[in-house]
Chain A
Amino acid sequence: MTLYTSTVVTPRRRSRVWAKFGESTAFALGLPILLLVIWGVWATLAPEKFFPSPIEIAQAFVQTWIGPAFVSDVLPSLARLAVGIILSIVIGIGAGLVIGLTRWLRELLEPVFEFFRAVPPPVLIPIVAALLGSNDVMKVVVIVAGAVWPVLLNTIEGVRATDSVMTETARSFALTRGERLRHLVLPSASPRIMAGVRQCLSIALILMVISEMFYSSAGLGFRIVYFQRNYLIADMWSGIVLLGLIGILLAVIFGFVERRVLRWYHGIKEVEHA
C-alpha cells in the first residue's frame, strides 16, 4: 500500500452543471429581455401614445391587479373559465364515448355536430345573451357551447379508431364492457382526446375574454375595455399581459396533464424516432 495516492493527480473535471444552467437560462431569458429593453428604449426616445414603456406597464400591473381587483374581477373570471372548461371536457368525453361506441348514433349525429363545430363560437354570444340574460350562467354556457365540440368530436373519432385487432383480443379474453372501456378504448383514444382538449382550452379562453369584454360589467375582459375607453393605456396593457399570463398558465397545466396521461404514447413515439 502506497502513501503516494495523490502523486498521480487526475485533474477533476470542472462541474459543468452551473455552466449548463447558465446557458439554458441565457437562452430562455435572452431574447425576451432583449425585446423588453428595445421596447423600453424606443418608448423613451419616441413615446407613442398607445405603447407605454414596459416599466410603466409593470407598475400599472402591480397597481391594478395586485389588490382588490384581483378578487373582484380576476378570480370570478378564472372561476367561470374553469367551470366552463371542466363542463366542456366532462360533457365532451362522456357524450363522445357513448356516441362513438354506438355506430348508428354516431352516423346520425356527426353531420349535425360537424356543423355546430364549424360555427365560429363568438357568434353564439349575442344569441345566448338574449336567451339567458347577461349573467354568470350565460357566460359559462357560452364557453361550453363553443368549447365542447373539439372534445366531443375528437372523442368520437378516437373511440372509433380503436384498433380492431386489440378489440378482438379484448373480446376473446372476455373483458367486460367497463374493463374494455378503461383499458382499451380510453387509452387508445386519449391522444386524440388530448388534442381536442387543447383546442377546447384556447376556445374557452377566447370566449371568456369576449363575453366579458362586450357583455359584462365586471371581470377581466370588461376591465381591459374599461381602461381602453378611459385612455388608461398602461392599465389596458397590464390587463392584456395578465390575459397572456393566464393563457400561458393554461398551456403549462395542459402540458403537465398531457405528459402524464400520454406517457405511454410519448414513449412509443420516442422508440419510433430513435
Chain B
Amino acid sequence: MATADLPHPVAPRARRRMPSPRPVILGIAGILGFLLVWQLLPTIGVVNPAYFPTATATLGELGELVRDVEFWRNVGRTLTAWGIGLLIATVLACVLGAVVGLVPFLRRATHTTVEFLRPIPSVALIPLAVLMFGYQLQAALLIIVFASFWQVFVQVLYGVADVDTVARDTARSYGLGRGARIAHLVFPTALPYLMTGLRLAATVALILSITAEMFIGNPGIGRAIMFAQSAGQWPTVYALVVVTGLLGLIVNIIFRLIERRALRWHQSVRGEEVL
C-alpha cells in the first residue's frame, strides 16, 4: 500500500476490517513524538543548533513561507517543470512502448539497448545538460524525461504483453482489424500497467525536477533551498525540505488514487500488478 506493489501469489482477501481509530491516534502520536525529538536534539545540543534548527523554528519559518507569494511561485515553477517533463515522458513512452511491445521483432531487437540505457542514472547527464542548455528549462527537462520515460516505457511493455491469449485469439477469429484490436483489447489491458508506470514516473519526475533546480539552477523550490543555504538561513532550508516532503506525499497519494481507480475496473481481467 505504502510501498511498491507486488504480485500476490494468493487470491486477494475480500474481508474488510471495521475502521478503528487506533492507527490514526498512534499515527498522530508518532508524528508528535518525532516533532518532540526534533525539538529536543538541537535544544540539548546533540546537534549544532546553528545548522539544525528546532522544530518550532522550522515550522514557524514554514508559516512565514506559506504567506509569501514568491514561495508559491516557486512551488508553481517546480510543478510546471515536473508536469511538462512527466507529460513528455509519458507520451513518448506510450507511443514507443506500444509500438515496440506489439511488434515481437522490435521487442527482441531493442531488449539489450533498453536494459543498457535504463540503469543509467539520469543525474549523470547533468553536466551534459548544462553544456547543452545552460540554465534553461530544457536542461531540467532532459534529466526529468530521461528518468521518467523508462518507468512508463517498461510498464507499457509489460502491459501490452499481458494481453490474455484467449481473448486475443477470440478477437482474431472474429476478424477484428488491428486498430480495433488495439482499441478494445490491448489498451484496456495495458491501462492499469500504464497507471502504475505513471505513478512511479510521477515520483521520479518530482525528485529530479527538484534535483535539477538545486544543481543546475532552474528557478523553483530546489533553487530556493540552495539560496537559503548559501545565506545561512537554515530554518528556511529545513522548512523547504518539509515542503518537498509534503509535495512528494501529495503527488504519491493522488497518483495512487488514480491508479486504484484503474485497477479496480480491471481486477477481473488481470490478477496481478507488475513492479
> Which A residues are within 8 Å of any B CB, using their own CB?
27-32, 35, 50, 104, 107-112, 114-124, 126-127, 130-131, 150, 153-154, 156-158, 163, 191-192, 195-196, 198-199, 202, 205-206, 209-210, 213-214, 224-225, 227-228, 233, 236-237, 239-240, 243-244, 247-248, 250-251, 265, 268-269, 272
- The reply to whether A27 and B111 contact each other, CB–CB distance below 8 Å, is yes
Q: Least Cβ distance of B113 to chain A in Å? A: 5
> Is the contact region of chain A dominated by helix, strand, or loop, or is it mixed?
helix
In the complex, what residues of A have CB within 8 A of residue B34's CB?
A: 112
Sort chain B's interface into a size bin.
35 or more
Q: Least Cβ distance of A153 to chain B in Å? A: 5
Assembly CA distance A100 to B236 (angstroms): 34
Q: Least Cβ distance of A156 to chain B in Å? A: 8
- The reply to whether A243 and B124 contact each other, CB–CB distance below 8 Å, is yes
Given contacts A191-B6, A205-B121, contact A112 B30 (CB under 8 A): yes
Q: Least Cβ distance of A134 to chain B in Å? A: 13
- Closest residue of chain A to B122 (Cβ to Cβ) is A206
> Is the contact region of chain B dominated by helix, strand, or loop, or is it mixed?
helix
- The reply to whether B3 and A153 contact each other, CB–CB distance below 8 Å, is yes
In the complex, what residues of B have CB within 8 A of residue A35's CB?
A: 113
- Closest residue of chain A to B234 (Cβ to Cβ) is A130
The residue among A122, A237, A251 with the most chain B CB atoms within 10 A of its own CB is A122
Assembly CA distance A32 to B115 (angstroms): 11
Query: Total A-B residue pairs with C-beta atoms closer than 8 Å?
Result: 182
Query: Which B residues, 1 to 30, have Cβ-Cβ distances below 8 Å to chain A?
Result: 1-4, 6-7, 9-10, 22-23, 26-30
> Is B275 in the interface zone, CB < 8 Å from A?
yes
- Closest residue of chain A to B51 (Cβ to Cβ) is A130
Q: Least Cβ distance of B2 to chain A in Å? A: 6
Assembly CA distance A209 to B215 (angstroms): 12
Query: Which B residues, 42 to 100, have Cβ-Cβ distances below 8 Å to chain A?
Result: 47-48, 51-52
> Is B166 in the interface zone, CB < 8 Å from A?
no
B210 CB contact (under 8 Å) in A122, A195, A248: A122
Assembly CA distance A214 to B6 (angstroms): 36
> Is B262 in the interface zone, CB < 8 Å from A?
no
- Closest residue of chain A to B7 (Cβ to Cβ) is A269
Query: Which B residues, 197 to 251, have Cβ-Cβ distances below 8 Å to chain A?
Result: 206-207, 210-211, 214-215, 222, 225-226, 229, 234, 237-238, 241, 244-249
A233 CB contact (under 8 Å) in B9, B47, B109, B131: B131
In the complex, what residues of A have CB within 8 A of residue B112's CB?
A: 27-29, 31-32
- The reply to whether A108 and B33 contact each other, CB–CB distance below 8 Å, is yes
- The reply to whether A120 and B131 contact each other, CB–CB distance below 8 Å, is no
Q: Least Cβ distance of B220 to chain A in Å? A: 12
Q: Least Cβ distance of B92 to chain A in Å? A: 17
- The reply to whether B126 and A213 contact each other, CB–CB distance below 8 Å, is yes
- The reply to whether A213 and B215 contact each other, CB–CB distance below 8 Å, is yes
> Is B183 in the interface zone, CB < 8 Å from A?
no
In the complex, what residues of B have CB within 8 A of residue A109's CB?
A: 30
- The reply to whether A32 and B211 contact each other, CB–CB distance below 8 Å, is no
Assembly CA distance A244 to B113 (angstroms): 12
Q: Least Cβ distance of A191 to chain B in Å? A: 5
B27 CB contact (under 8 Å) in A107, A191, A227: A107
The 14 listed contacts between A and B (C-beta, < 8 Å) are A27-B112, A50-B128, A107-B23, A122-B211, A122-B215, A126-B214, A126-B225, A156-B3, A157-B1, A202-B121, A205-B119, A210-B215, A213-B126, A248-B116
